[in-house]
Chains A and B, each alone.
Chain A
């Protein structure tokens, strides 16, 4: 039976060349390209912005008129409730959002991939327990969980990153597991097992590279979710008080009633910042998912 399967079909699809090919396909798609453009813009702002327009959080307004001031030549996007420059504050906020999004996703990916590998490859008790734990985290409502953990653990950037990372890995684990369940029955895996490879070696050397592309598409979507989670947490007053993020800005804008006072310059910039970066990752993730997910291909 195995002899009739052509070798080419069984060639592993992972690796750097495949990743580059997939990114090129995503770039060729108009939706994907729009996503890359938004991300390029955001990263440019986050890296160069604070150098060109540095933000000093201690530089507060000195008069009543300088508070929640509409845009002027001096303050392009007006001032916040302490009389600070909203334009510079928004640029500074981009760094916190991206940092939390990327690092939380890194934790989420590592935990999710390992849990998924274990759940998919171990047929014994370990696998069964990992499946149960994954399902448990999959049904727990994420935002209440994050709020509760942040309320108990405290409000530093490090804790926020860990909390978001440890609550968002379940979907990754599920994707990895279902991929492995289909992969481990494939012929090339049976061949390396026949050659005497250990379970661990098969999992890490032969299965992991084949799972990674789909994990990659999922990663991009998890980054979008993590950035939204950080913004929401900060908006609810559970952000890091030292490092101002877009969510923190909107928290204070809400607290001082910026909407009722018509202070659109305080509401729009941080919100648009969040939408631009989240939309960027969502568009790229959606496109990659369509390219990489065999069930969705050609849609």
Chain B
């Protein structure tokens, strides 16, 4: 019963947060920048009657509350407006790009979490040794690397210098693939450097969180009991220690989604990866506001929904949360 109440409360919270983001977005893009017609007609040499017609066309002759309601209706029906530079519906552009970003982020996230947790466990198990100190210092160093610069360095070292991996795009331009397998291999090769960049800059926090959480768990009484039962130290570590140390890792994973979205913008820009991040960079440079707005909205909603999913995961794993 407590579980249902918790779920209901979380659902209301998510709905309110989403509404807040949408309202914030509306305010940001439709109230703050002033007259969108001036943006659309960049030269500004329009006749007054043309301006009036455009205002009517875009619904700008309506009052703000009415504009807001229309905006909500458009969002609900998937109408995100027209891009100023592509002259295409924003939704179509997003649909084309989003898959590439999801693939990149999924590859990076899986690697970051697995490697980060394993290194963190090793560091905690060998607390105070050189291995531990080295992993803490390396984590802090990687944490301090700017994502875009790390990407540039990898391009320079592994791409330009060693010619080990392709440095731009998601496929070799102009190539006709002999088979699906060849296409997948080419795509994978292009995925290596962007993914490696994200893994390098983001792995540190998972190492540190796992390490400190596990060190905490290893001081608890049930660990002593497990040792007293005569279990081997690896059994104590992996069967009793690690599972109990993972809750903070899940929290970090949720916060990580907000971070990795920022990483995607930088990595996709540096590697010309045709995803949402490169899209927001291009549309910022060209001041394509409808496109910036929609991309931001997708990023924000993704992060909010992932946080919600994490809350549910928490509830499933830890009964204490459910009954709180």
Contacts and interface: CB of A to CB of B under 8 A. Distances in A.
B160 A141 contact: no
A241 to B, nearest CB: 13
Contacts of A145: 296, 300
B303 A140 contact: yes
B108 interface: no
Given A231-B146, A254-B270, A31 B140 contact: yes
Contact of B144 (A140, A235, A278): A278
Interface in A195-233: 224, 228, 231-232
A136 B20 CA distance: 8
A151 to B, nearest CB: 5
Interface string B294-324: 0110011001100100000000000000000
Given A228-B146, A232-B147, A144 B28 contact: no
Interface residues on B, range: 35 or more
Contacts of A262: 156, 160-161
B196 interface: no
Contacts of B217: none
B265 A236 contact: yes
A139 B303 contact: yes
A271 B265 contact: no
Given A224-B144, A232-B266, A278-B146, A152 B33 contact: yes
Interface residues on A, range: 35 or more
Contacts of B29: 152
Given A151-B292, A282-B144, A283-B140, A141 B149 contact: no
Q: Which of B20, B32, B149, B293 has the most chain A CB atoms inside 10 A of its CB?
A: B149
B269 A296 contact: no
Contacts of B160: 259-260, 262
Nearest to A34: B137
Interface stretch (B45-53, B236-244, B279-287): B279-287
Contacts of B141: 275, 279
A271 B149 contact: yes
A299 B21 contact: no
B140 A279 contact: yes
A259 B148 CA distance: 12
Nearest to B21: A140
A140 B300 contact: yes
A147 B262 CA distance: 10
Contacts of A282: 140, 143-144
A90 to B, nearest CB: 13
A142 B257 CA distance: 11
Contacts of A260: 155, 160, 167
A250 interface: yes
A288 interface: no
A286 B140 contact: yes
Interface string A248-266: 0010011000011010100
A247 to B, nearest CB: 8
A181 interface: no
B262 A271 contact: no
A267 interface: yes
A271 B152 contact: yes
A206 B90 CA distance: 54
Given A236-B281, A237-B284, A271-B149, A139 B140 contact: no
Contact of B280 (A139, A147, A264): A147
Contacts of B269: 236
Given A250-B149, A275-B145, A141 B156 contact: no
Given A250-B152, A271-B149, A141 B300 contact: yes
A238 interface: yes
A86 B215 CA distance: 46
Nearest to A250: B149
Interface of B: 16-17, 20-21, 28-29, 32-33, 136-137, 140-141, 143-149, 152-153, 155-156, 159-161, 167, 212, 215-216, 258-259, 261-262, 265-266, 269-270, 280-281, 284-285, 287, 292-293, 295-296, 299-300, 303-304, 307
Given A142-B259, A271-B146, 12 more contacts: A31-B136, A31-B137, A140-B300, A143-B261, A145-B296, A149-B28, A236-B266, A236-B269, A237-B284, A260-B167, A279-B141, A282-B144
Interface of A: 31, 132, 135-136, 139-145, 147-149, 151-152, 224, 228, 231-232, 235-238, 250, 253-254, 259-260, 262, 264, 267, 271, 274-275, 278-279, 282-283, 286, 295-296, 299
Closest 10 CB pairs of A and B: A143-B262, A279-B144, A271-B149, A278-B144, A141-B261, A141-B258, A259-B156, A259-B155, A144-B299, A151-B284
